[in-house]
Amino acid sequence: MDLLISNLGHGFGVALSFQNLAFALLGALIGTAIGVLPGIGPVATISLLLPITFGLPATTAIIMLAGIYYGAQYGGSTTAILLNLPGEVSSVVTTLEGYKMARNGRAGAALATAALGSFFAGTVATILVAASGPVLTQVALSFGPADYFSLMLLGLIIACVLAQGSIVKAIGMVVLGVALGLVGTDVQTGQQRFTFGIPELSDGLGFVPIAMGMFGIAEIVLNLERPESRSILSTKVGQLWLTKEEFKRSTPAVLRGTLVGSFLGLLPGGGASLAAFGSYMMERKMSKGRAMFGNGAIEGVAGPEAANNAAAQTSFIPLLTLGIPSNAVMALMVGALIIQGIQPGPRMVEAQPDLFWGLIASMWIGNVMLLVINLPMIGMWVKLLSVPYRFLYPSILVFCCIGVYSLNNNAFDVYMTVLFTVFGYICSKLKMEPAPLLIGFVLGPMMEEHLRRAMLLSRGDWSVFVQRPISATMLGIALIALLLMAMPNIRKGKEKAMAE
């Protein structure tokens, strides 16, 4: 305990430096803004801002990107409650009860519930990250190459199982992502693979062009197809307080949402959206006020908002301790760390203590900032929606092209971004989720490295993957997950849950 307190003290010393504090605030502001604006989201924004991180220290860059991620969870609830317009996917659930509360004259109570529930859940999740990080790191240090390979394979399979739509399409996207990650020069033999004689591919495909094309610009193109429809709430927000009855009903929902979100944030393919939906379904069944659902039940705001913020922060646990991204945003974080020359994994606690503990401390500081930013400045965030998309998106596209070109001062990166934009657009039209591809692209080279090490140490004996207990357990869970999803009843149940 003393060591944990000492490490957190060191983390706060790092996070409270002027530069890190300023970029944490910038991340929180950007996150809130993109949470308010429908159709942009944290994945697109972080992918678009990756080039900026080149000129920043690693700790500062990750603190800013993390602030954008959990800041978007706060911002999305504002427009979901006031305008019935979810700015972020995880805020879709909040519209179901939050907007009805606003129509009933309780907009202020709904906004206060969302902000306070988010703050509580964020604080609990930050404590979990701080407490579990060093413990899991020690466990991970006992992993061998075979264990790591099986763990990453399990992560990819669970990402496929939890992905929306067809599991076959999700597996196809993962396989394609792994294949794209293998493009370039073989580290051990020096032979070039899948480069087709193009010199620019000898170092592999760039992470930024893929992320920016498939998640950033493709999302912008898709949004331009959708007509703008905004119905401003005519009633006033009112006082930002809860009645005694509302407080009594929302408190258990926040606690349950925090628990659900903290767990689902750890799962590959999980994250804030899955946590919010899971919490809402739980509240509909367990809440004492479930009879009010559909008419503005405060539990339907408190639970999901707590869940999505808890999940946004606990999703950093597998990234920081194992180096494995649990969702698309964490895959972007891995890319940002690799760009900075840092390999995420169990040795990061010792090799990069400023980054590890500074990031954890900044999460709590960021939550305080977001609480202050969101409640008093609600009017400003709603006015942000008055900016027409036709003015917003051209400036974003210009910024993207400049950012991609500045990576290597090479137009080839711009061409690759355009190529992956077209591919991302086609995938969206075919209902093929791009997140498994990005996770596969990040984990593919690491899986190959651990596979080769395992084969060298075992002298080519494939049974090493089932002889080691940890590896065998991971492979067993992965096989069970695939078999369960192959069963018609479970597959239909998943499709029904996703539809809801």
Give residue 269's pLDDT. 61
Give residue 259's pLDDT. 92
What would the mean pLDDT of 401-417 be, rounded to a whole number?
Answer: 80
What would the mean pLDDT of 433-462 be, rounded to a whole number?
Answer: 86
Containing H/E element for 192?
strand 192-193
Containing H/E element for 193?
strand 192-193
Give residue 19's pLDDT. 92
> Model confidence over 321-362: pLDDT tens digits?
887 887 778 888 888 888 888 878 777 877 888 888 898 899
Give residue 492's pLDDT. 62
Residues 122, 128: Cα–Cα separation, whole Å = 10
Give residue 414's pLDDT. 86
Give residue 60's pLDDT. 92
Nearest to 215 by CA among 30, 456, 43: 43
Give residue 495's pLDDT. 56
Residue 305, pLDDT > 60, answer yes
Confidence of residue 158 (pLDDT cuts 50, 70, 90): confident
What would the mean pLDDT of 251-279 be, rounded to a whole number?
Answer: 82
Phi then psi for residue 229, to 5 deg, are -140, 115
Residue 79, pLDDT > 80, answer no
What would the mean pLDDT of 380-401 be, rounded to a whole number?
Answer: 70
- The sign of the CA dihedral 484, 305, 223, 66 is negative
Exposed e or buried b per residue across 420-454, where buried means at least 16 C-beta atoms within 10 angstroms of its C-beta: bbebbbebbeeebbbbbbbbbbbbbbbbbebbeeb
Residue 234, pLDDT > 60, answer no
Give residue 54's pLDDT. 77
**Between these two residues, 298 and 381, which has the higher pLDDT value?**
298
What would the mean pLDDT of 193-197 be, rounded to a whole number?
Answer: 85
**Residue 396 belongs to what domain range?**
2-499
**Between these two residues, 370 and 387, which has the higher pLDDT value?**
370
Domain total in the chain: 1
Confidence of residue 409 (pLDDT cuts 50, 70, 90): confident
- 352 to 11, 16, 358, 359: CA distances (angstroms): 11, 17, 10, 11
Q: Which of 108-122, 276-290, 296-310 has the lowest mean pLDDT?
A: 276-290
Residues 275, 277: Cα–Cα separation, whole Å = 6
Residue 63, pLDDT > 60, answer yes
What would the mean pLDDT of 185-204 be, rounded to a whole number?
Answer: 82
Most confident segment among 41-50, 98-107, 246-255, 392-401: 246-255
Residues 78, 384: Cα–Cα separation, whole Å = 12
Most confident segment among 69-73, 379-383, 419-423: 419-423
Give residue 176's pLDDT. 93
Residue 88, pLDDT > 80, answer no
Give residue 387's pLDDT. 67
Mean pLDDT of the chain: 81
Give residue 422's pLDDT. 92
What would the mean pLDDT of 76-80 be, rounded to a whole number?
Answer: 77
What would the mean pLDDT of 9-22 be, rounded to a whole number?
Answer: 90
| pTM across the whole model | 0.76
